[in-house]
Amino acid sequence: MAITPADASRRTREICNLAPIVPVLVVNDAAHARDLATALIAGGLPALEVTLRTPAALDAIREMAKVPNGYVGAGTLVTPEDVIAAKEAGASFGVSPGATDALLEACEREGLPLLPGAATASEAMRLLERGYDMLKFFPAEASGGAPALKAIGAPLPQITFCPTGGVSPTNASDYLSLDNVLCAGGSWVAPDSLIQAGAWDEITALAKAASQLAGR
């Protein structure tokens, strides 16, 4: 069922509002997917982004989509084919590093709510013109960090962002304190070393700490 840009932004905003941090996950083995999702959700982070950067990513999304109380999204959407595959795997939302007309049209046609990426005021304005007002600011640190995002927010207060890329426990609060930031994406809550070790309690602990982050 198709979705409008306004409805897409409304839905992604609802998902982004669930917790201050959205885990950005690189899953190399789908066998870990359910336990990983369960650990993160137990820690208070129900919105999960699985990046399409590994052969296991789509299978991981399929497994995570079966875990109760979670919202599994597909990250690194670049092509219409990515969108179709993500939707078929059970993703409830999508995330992209940028935005093209073909990608936006595919998400709208497939009914997949999208958090599209923007790094400049012009990119953000183009998306706003189309109807998207909940965006990903990427790559956050490389694009000037919290000061740059604050500056963009001054003339574009109607846009809300989820900064991703270089966000860490040491700077997350700098982003979360901004009026135009709803949440931030971070990979530190699920490092590969802990995933490979099956250290689910440690991942839950990291998630709990991240779920309590707030703006300074």
Q: Which of 49, 63, 108, 110 is catalytic?
A: 49
Residue 49 designated active-site = yes
Distance CA 113, CA 124 (A): 17
Distance of CA 110 to the CA centre of its chain: 19
Residue 114: name the closest of 4, 1, 22 by CA.
4
Distance CA 216, CA 205 (A): 21
Distance CA 65, CA 60 (A): 8
Please answer whether residues 50 and 27 qualify as being in contact, where contact means their C-beta atoms are separated by less than 8 angstroms: yes
Distance CA 81, CA 26 (A): 20
Please answer whether residues 215 and 178 qualify as being in contact, where contact means their C-beta atoms are separated by less than 8 angstroms: yes
Q: Which of 63, 87, 110, 136 is catalytic?
A: 136
Distance of CA 56 to the CA centre of its chain: 18
Distance CA 27, CA 36 (A): 9
The residue type found at 51 is T
Residue 136 designated active-site = yes
- Point out the residues that are catalytic: 49, 136
